[in-house]
Structure formats: C-alpha cells, structure tokens
Amino acid sequence: MPIATVNGIPLNYQVKGEGDLVVLIMGTGSPGRVWDLHQVPSLVAAGYRVCTFDNRGIAPSGESADGIAIEDMVADTAGLIELLGGSAHVVGTSMGARIAQELALARPELVHRAVFLASHARMDRFQQTLNEGERDLMDSGITLPSKYRAAVTAVMNLSPATLADQHAARDWLDVFEFSGGETSPGLRAQLAMDRDFDRRGAYRGITRPCLAVGFADDRMIPAYLAKEVADAIPGALYQEISDVGHYGYLERPEAVNKVILDFLAG
C-alpha cells in the first residue's frame, strides 16, 4: 500500500478497481484492510474505484499519540479524496461513520453520496461509560485472559443470532482469542477522543444524499442512534439490518453490501 503525506501526516492507503471513487472509512482501532474481506470486492465488481486507508492512530499511518480530534480525521479524509481526484462517495462505519458525517457537513463539494454504518450524532451514557472503562483498563496495565477477552468482544460486537450458530461462534471466538495484543499509542489516542458530543442540530446543515444504517443487535452503537442521524439530516434515508451486531458488515456482508450498492446507484 502506498503512503502519502496528507494533512501533515503519513497516510497509508490502497486503491483498487476503476470507475467512480468510493472511499471506505474504518472504525476505532481497525485497519482499512478489514474492508478487503467483503466490501471492496463487491464494490469493485460493481464498477467502482475503491480506496481504503488506515486512519491516523493506526500504523503505518501517523499515530498522533499526543492526541487526535475528529477535525483531524475529517481533514485527513478530505485530503486523501483531493489527492485521488477531488470528490467521492464515502462509506464509514462507527467512528468512520462519524468522520463521514462531519465530512459531508464541512466539505460537501467532496461528497457525492454518503453511507453511515452504525451511525450516531451522539453517544448515550452507556457508550461514554464503556469508553472510559476501556481507557482505564488499558492504563491499568491489566491483561485479561485471552478467552475471557474473546468472549466479551464477541458479546459486545456480534448478534445473538451469530453466537447461536455453534460453528460461527467458534470461528469468531478463535479469531478474537488470537487477535488481541498490546494497545498502541495511536489506538490509545483514538480512544481518548471526545465522546461527549451531540451533533443532531449541526447535521440539519448536511445537504448531500445520505443513508444512515442501523445494526439491529448492535450493543456498541444501538440502532436508535443511527435513526437519530437520519432524522436530523434533511432528506436522509434510514435502513436497519436484522441479525447483526456492531460488526454487521462482517456478519452479514451480502445484506450490507446490497444496501450500500443500491444507495450509491441512486
């Protein structure tokens, strides 16, 4: 993957396919290559040029260990779009959805259509408390047993429908058990970003065509928060996908990809 200096930091990105540009924005702690499993092949097959990248905080992009603001990440994405041609469809999930929302508000000339997976204009008390607890746990130096960490990760990010499937549950738990590692300074900086915000009023100023998607069994970003985003943005659409948790784009990729492709096709 090439690395370019964008907005004053190294940004690791990848482009595949030909056609109208789609930029995919990942959530907290995850590299852009996660999109390669399901969304990139689907979009490329549909005739799009697709860009994935590692947000600041995720090496080898700049880790910005001294602190990250949402405005930094919006400017990073805007600079990457300008580097690649000047305008794009944008699709983000979780924190990436928030980046896409703020980009559509601040730089509408860069956005054709926008899809926000696990979108949110605010975080409720549960999300704020969970985030504070995650930071406290990381800073404590305590290492959770790998099996316990895997079980908690599964419960928080997957649908009960997935966990009820013995084969799927086993596979996911194996992945979570063996994918844990030390918290990098960049991830710690992402987790320290402001969680006490409410952008519902501001999002009334978004003018681009937008789709907010809620994942019905999402414990991290409940679907009602995604519905609030659609209600706030004039003309925005809302769609809810059943039997998926926070990792809905990995649990039911065919359903998520269809929603994305149908909306981008207009």
State residue 234's pLDDT score. Answer: 98
DSSP-derived secondary structure letter, 118: T
Instruction: State the average pLDDT over residues 74-91.
Output: 96
Edge-to-edge order in the sheet of strand 88-93: 3-6, 9-16, 48-53, 20-25, 88-93, 111-117, 210-215, 237-241
The two tokens of residue 167 are 């084969």
| pLDDT for position 181 | 66
Give me the domains of the chain, ranges plus CATH numbers.
3-125+186-264 (3.40.50.1820)
Residue bearing the bigger pLDDT, 261 or 142: 261
Phi/psi-derived region of residue 19, left when phi > 0, alpha when psi is between -120 and 50, beta in every other case: left
- Greatest CA separation for the chain: 49
**Mean pLDDT of the chain, nearest integer:** 95
Residue range 174-201: mean pLDDT, rounded: 88
Polymer length in residues for the chain = 266
List active site positions: 94, 218, 246
| pLDDT for 138 | 84
Here the tokens at position 171 are 């596979």
Percentage of the chain beyond pLDDT 90 is 85
Those residues whose C-beta lies under 8 Å from the C-beta of residue 187, and which sit 6 or more positions away, are: 28, 29, 57, 58
